[in-house]
Amino acid sequence: MRIELTPVGTQPDILAIGMPEADPYNVPAVVVQAFGPAIGHMLEDEDFTGKAGTTVEIASFNKLCRRWLLVVGTGTGSNDDLRHAAGVAADFARSKGARALDLTLGGAQSGPDEWVRAVVEGAIAGNYRFDKYRPEGERKHPTKYFRVNDNGGQADAAQLGKLHGLAQQVARDLVNEPADAIYPETLAAAAVALAADNLKVEVWDEHQIQEAGMGGIWGVGRGSARPPRFVHAKFTPSSGAPKKKIAIIGKGVTFDAGGLSIKPSSGMQTMRCDMGGAAAVVGVMSGLVALDPDVEVHAIFGAAENMLGANAYKLGDCLKMYNGKRVEVHNTDAEGRLVLADCLSYASELGVDHIIDLATLTGAAVVALGEHYTAMYTDSDEHAADWSVAADAAGEGLWRMPLEPLYREKLKAKWGAIKNVGGREGGSITAALFLKEFVSPDIPWAHFDIAGPAFLSSKDRYLDEGATGAMVRTILRYLEAV
């Protein structure tokens, strides 16, 4: 999908005007001139409140040289409310097959650069559909052009919003593809396709993975007819002297049947989403060259299918990980942490200043925080604060959880150094504590459990059912601010 600012001479099909909660019926003069003063009464009759994302759809009958007028609530005028309003407007535009959308939302509390970015991000997210496999007659082509009425020519801000929005879309596309299309080899190929002069991508096959001693990635992936892959991409900023070096690691389980601890059919239906962390890493990679942050970025993921083949790893196995530790397997459906463990140990050898990992890791995080918040685990107050600022700017929910050392006892193993599950209680916490075992203690580290927000079972506000690209824009915001 191509998103462009509306060129001169292109007449939008739809005009979306924003109305705040504080004054939901004060319609702009140009609209009153076209429709008459009764337009305000029409909004009252529709019980329009101006709450963010609420709408009234009005056929214009060419009174505005548009097919439709969409009145959309902008709430308090916060960036989040404007992002929501723009997303709803773009969702409406696609449903009507509109080629171009005029977004005149206004009412922002923040400076023009920030709210223009929010509007563009929301418009791209709301206009998104994954319908490539549906019958041609049931598809709606994406809206191609957006005109943002910024009253100040914030073209750079709009372009940044576009870059972040399209990076998020890369992740959504990868997750939404069926597992027959995205498996370890093709997920690695998606990263390779992004290679550039300052973005080098290396891929290890199953033989190199075994030779390197990555027992977690190999253990999880060996039961599939499609062997695992390990990917390490390195971005070097044009400055040549980065302010910081950071490793970004993603869980890349392209399909999770649970292994021998097999999932029920209902729990397996959407398990193509279990590579949401790796997809987010690829999404971030897709924006790095254009964004050119002053950061050396190591983008890393292990890709594997967790299947039940004759060579599948078994309960009671003691897998030897990249850092030499033996992990006692008590549940083959707790596989993502095994893949991440090898990646974390590898990243710890790269001389980076900071490591983060993203994973659709635990159902416990969903129970704790629902679908709107990512669970964050870190021992660093400084980094927790930095990531919270980035998430707030990106409009993504992030909540710091306790990395309680007392719970480490739950992972105590009889035969190995550590077991891969710690019981039902505090499951998201013990998963984070397991990962911590594979990070060098002198490197600040943060773990993001995106199991809740990464995939929607039904449409939520302006985000369509399926992948959301969780944390892509937050990570880009963080890199941008360094």
Q: Which residues are marked as active site?
A: 263, 337
| Structure token digits, residue 297 | 């970025």
Cβ neighbours, 10 Å, residue 457: 10
Query: 28-34: long-range contacts at Cβ-Cβ below 8 A with a sequence spacing of 24 or more?
Result: 28/104, 30/64, 31/64, 31/69, 34/60, 34/63, 34/64
Number of H helices, E strands in the chain: 15, 19
Rounded to whole angstroms, the Cα distance separating 446 from 354 reads 8
Gyration radius of the chain's alpha carbons: 24
Where do we find the tokens 């919270």?
388
Between strands 354-359 and 68-75, the pairing is unpaired
Which residues contact residue 38 at a Cβ distance below 8 angstroms, ignoring those fewer than 6 apart?
Answer: none
Three-state SS string across 147-167, please?
EECCCCCCHHHHHHHHHHHHH
Where do we find the tokens 């062997």?
227
Residues in the chain: 482
| Structure token digits, residue 24 | 């939901």
Which residues contact residue 359 at a Cβ distance below 8 angstroms, ignoring those fewer than 6 apart?
Answer: 250, 251, 276, 277, 336, 337, 340, 447, 448, 449, 450, 451
Rounded to whole angstroms, the Cα distance separating 89 from 462 reads 9
Percentages (nearest 5) of helix, strand, coil residues in the chain:
35, 20, 40
Rounded to whole angstroms, the Cα distance separating 325 from 322 reads 7
Rounded to whole angstroms, the Cα distance separating 303 from 274 reads 10
